[in-house]
Structure 1
């Protein structure tokens, strides 16, 4: 049929089979002793045995940042980290109708990763301004046959549509009684949508959020707390939230705020942070109350120091870090955590090796799946006004098809620059109620700043009365809103005396090559 996702594997020689991917538009030879996994055909095909894994990605380029030149030259910036990566070959050439970049390197074996594949070859190929491919090889031993593999690679006329043939379901793990009740109330099939708020002073100080809640006639049951590896478990902050009858989406991000993070995932997987995470897990256990632990969110964005962009384009390292931390919590018998996996809606870079699905750590490790997409407005060149439905209709459709876990919007907001923000909010409230699998949506009530401290993305929803009134009316239909509403002008916070924006560990350093500074917070 015209739209079939057809693959064909056939004998080629006594040592190789030939694999043809018609939707991907390529064919290559692979060793006979390798298994073929095309379950994520839309993203990649994987050929593997115990020692070696070959990943093939077929990309369609656009005319923006993801050009043929960028594909060949800009996606291997991790190689600048000579401390951790031993570059063997870095060459550009043309062959068989392709422009090619071949990079070969190794790193040390990681102490906590069994059968660590620490030898790499990445081959990027562009055929024209539209079609591009990446072949990523990982092996426990030095790789010697990359040129034979490359010689066998040929383009095919594309025919059919690639699909995704995986479906993800959560695995139950022990929870204490209070967390079980929290999970049932907030994340069961019949739980209604509830709202959360990131306010930069909370949960340490709730004065401003309390005033904001009075203006909105709504009590937010969930707040966000960001932290890096520069601090231990913020027990006092979470206790203050609990005393105010609020739960915390604790966004633990594995980097240091003002340090070089080029080795951070390697250091974690070498066990250098085991004492930190063991102590952290014990403190979480002592706290005892429910926590939404959102570990290393937006990992498919190059504004995050733990992204695969900085670590050999190897998403398996991110998954190994997630599992390692999870296993430490399990060993410490932590039973008050729900694990939230939360990619960004757009992968940056836009190459398929950076697809969000490559970062999924496994059904045993994810309780809740988060979505995040912002309307950045038009302040920054290359960004545009994005309506809520344009972001979340396709995102919700994809996530609800792939994942059985409850869905949340881990953070989101709209800029005030480039369109009508109250109208955006009204359309958002009109639309969001249709997402019946969505259980929590958290507004990010702050701003993005550039390196000089200038606001690039004004995301607050309380900059003027029109925004507050639109939000108040929208929230009236949801739990935690009182039966009787009040005049918002009676309790409207004094915007001239707003709580100052607190510098938090969410701020990250955006790479020089970044085409997006939306997350430079």
Structure 2
């Protein structure tokens, strides 16, 4: 008997090693299916510990972060998410996720919804449609989502979408076959590989970029130390950037411009011209929003802003000047109309938006002058699996930098805390460093003035940021957030208090020499 027990343990160990080997040698999720006597396929997910019975011909993909299992059923796409909560429960998860779907009454048309029992488990089903996105090939705009309670703090979510009427009977067979009966194995990290390398003063892999853009990338992201820039609204109109730079004895050479579908396109020309004339560089940010109750993300993918997007692409191509491009940042924040929370729990829509811009800019000749930034928020809101940053991750060849964003928001609002730079950025930096082999930049950040000592916070920040060598660029957001009544809520200005500029001068004003390349 002892021999047989040892043999069983050895077998389990060998199976685990086999899965690790498969991962290291190009493992595909379809290797985890076996045919059943009933003509269906048994799929075992060894990362989340469950099995499903699927129809013949189903194709399976497990995301690099293991957060999403995606099943192709022909005309229907099915995604499976598992959530384990520490500070929430199943009902909070279900109800909050439904809010994002149901809030958009103009574009999300609910066909049916209600509670149900699924294989003796509490569940909730909602069926609805969203507008067709004519610029998305094979767009699937009909949805069936089922939330299943696996425990007080554990939830299973099925999210199915199709371009045809949902075959609910077939899907329910799959849902009812769910069993937590698979031994789990470890999830080795699948790190996003490096895009560019720097050798003998050349940017290897950057052949599609203009020579000047390659040089800008090298100087900005492949050198020692952290460079600094600033957000000032309409910075090209006044002398504040020069005034601040002169005072702190440091050239703030990186500017930030926000844009949207309704913004004046000529602002981009003005911003690039300013940077070109002053030897600075622009971080150009484009953000759709809600307008008259309609989600501009959907409208863009219906072609309603094609002429505007092409005009922007032409401007960049005509200027022939290196520019950083950040499309729809903080997509894992529920305040963004392009977040999965606001687009049917479907992060694919963000990827379609990203690819659509990339395609148009490529056609207009803009991409050879652009450094693309992928910039999730540093924390996901809501912190649910379908909203994990990795589900929004573009193709690895379509972005060059990973952007980081977290603010010390202060304590103006009761649910916010005063946080040090390390409290904000240490875990985020370690996570990105573990999962991405890319340079990082803080695309925007600052400290509020309410709830603590802003000057002490900034001094501590300068001491701490030296411990984050892959952060190559940081943009200080100099502005004010206002509450619903128009009162200043978060005062982020670089000159409030005015003595704050002395802290910047202390740490940045020592030298304006260019950093050496590494």
Task: Say yes or no: TM over 0.5.
Answer: yes
Q: What is the CA distance between 1:293 and its match in structure 2?
A: 1.3
For 1:27-426, list aligned pairs within 5 A: 27-63=51-87, 66-76=88-98, 77-96=100-119, 98-144=121-167, 145-155=170-180, 159=184, 161-170=186-195, 172=206, 174-188=208-222, 190-205=223-238, 207-230=239-262, 231-234=264-267, 235-255=269-289, 259-260=291-292, 262-334=294-366, 335-426=368-459
Q: Secondary structure at the match of 1:223?
A: strand
Q: What is the CA distance between 1:108 and its match in structure 2?
A: 4.5
Q: What is the CA distance between 1:168 and its match in structure 2?
A: 4.2
Q: Does 1:444 align with 2:471?
A: no
TM-score by length of 2: 0.84
Is the Cα–Cα contact under 8 Å of residues 42 and 163 in structure 1 kept in the other structure? no
Is the Cα–Cα contact under 8 Å of residues 204 and 237 in structure 1 kept in the other structure? no
Is the Cα–Cα contact under 8 Å of residues 373 and 392 in structure 1 kept in the other structure? yes
Is the Cα–Cα contact under 8 Å of residues 203 and 225 in structure 1 kept in the other structure? no
Query: Which is further off, 444-453 or 7-16?
Result: 7-16
Q: Secondary structure at the match of 1:203?
A: helix
Q: Secondary structure at the match of 1:361?
A: coil
Query: Larger relative CO (CA 8 A, sep 6+): 1 or 2?
Result: 1
Q: Secondary structure at the match of 1:277?
A: helix
Whole-angstrom distance in 2 between the partners of 1:91 and 1:478? 65
Whole-angstrom distance in 2 between the partners of 1:201 and 1:140? 44
Q: What is the CA distance between 1:224 and its match in structure 2?
A: 0.7
Query: Which is further off, 409-418 or 339-348?
Result: 409-418
CA offset digits 1:438-488 (Å, max 9, x no partner)? 211111112221111112222233222553333322224675699xxxxxx
Question: Could you tell me which residue of structure 1 aligns to residue 460 of structure 2?
Answer: 427
TM-score by length of 1: 0.84
Question: Could you tell me which residue of structure 1 aligns to residue 48 of structure 2?
Answer: 24
Is the Cα–Cα contact under 8 Å of residues 232 and 479 in structure 2 kept in the other structure? yes
Distance 1:158 1:91, change over 3 A: farther
Equivalenced residue count is 476
Q: What is the CA distance between 1:298 and its match in structure 2?
A: 0.8
Whole-angstrom distance in 2 between the partners of 1:162 and 1:129? 25
Whole-angstrom distance in 1 between the partners of 2:491 and 2:104? 34
Whole-angstrom distance in 1 between the partners of 2:82 and 2:46? 11
Whole-angstrom distance in 2 between the partners of 1:420 and 1:317? 41
Is the Cα–Cα contact under 8 Å of residues 415 and 459 in structure 1 kept in the other structure? yes
Q: What is the CA distance between 1:365 and its match in structure 2?
A: 1.7
Whole-angstrom distance in 2 between the partners of 1:96 and 1:466? 64
Q: What is the CA distance between 1:296 and its match in structure 2?
A: 0.9
Is the Cα–Cα contact under 8 Å of residues 62 and 69 in structure 2 kept in the other structure? yes
Greater gyration radius:
2
CA offset digits 1:222-245 (Å, max 9, x no partner)? 011111211214212321233232
Is the Cα–Cα contact under 8 Å of residues 121 and 143 in structure 1 kept in the other structure? yes
Is the Cα–Cα contact under 8 Å of residues 22 and 156 in structure 1 kept in the other structure? no
Q: What is the CA distance between 1:196 and its match in structure 2?
A: 0.9
Q: What is the CA distance between 1:54 and its match in structure 2?
A: 1.8
Question: Could you tell me which residue of structure 2 aligns to residue 515 of structure 1?
Answer: none
Query: Which is further off, 167-176 or 178-187?
Result: 167-176
Is the Cα–Cα contact under 8 Å of residues 42 and 164 in structure 1 kept in the other structure? no
Distance 1:47 1:165, change over 3 A: farther
Q: Secondary structure at the match of 1:373?
A: coil
Is the Cα–Cα contact under 8 Å of residues 226 and 251 in structure 1 kept in the other structure? yes
Query: Structure 1 unaligned runs (5+)?
Result: 483-521
CA offset digits 1:310-342 (Å, max 9, x no partner)? 211111111111111111111112222211121
Counting helix residues as a fraction of each chain, which structure ranks higher? Answer: 2
Is the Cα–Cα contact under 8 Å of residues 445 and 477 in structure 2 kept in the other structure? yes
Query: Which is further off, 10-19 or 303-312?
Result: 10-19
Distance 1:324 1:156, change over 3 A: same
Is the Cα–Cα contact under 8 Å of residues 121 and 146 in structure 1 kept in the other structure? no
Whole-angstrom distance in 2 between the partners of 1:479 and 1:60? 49
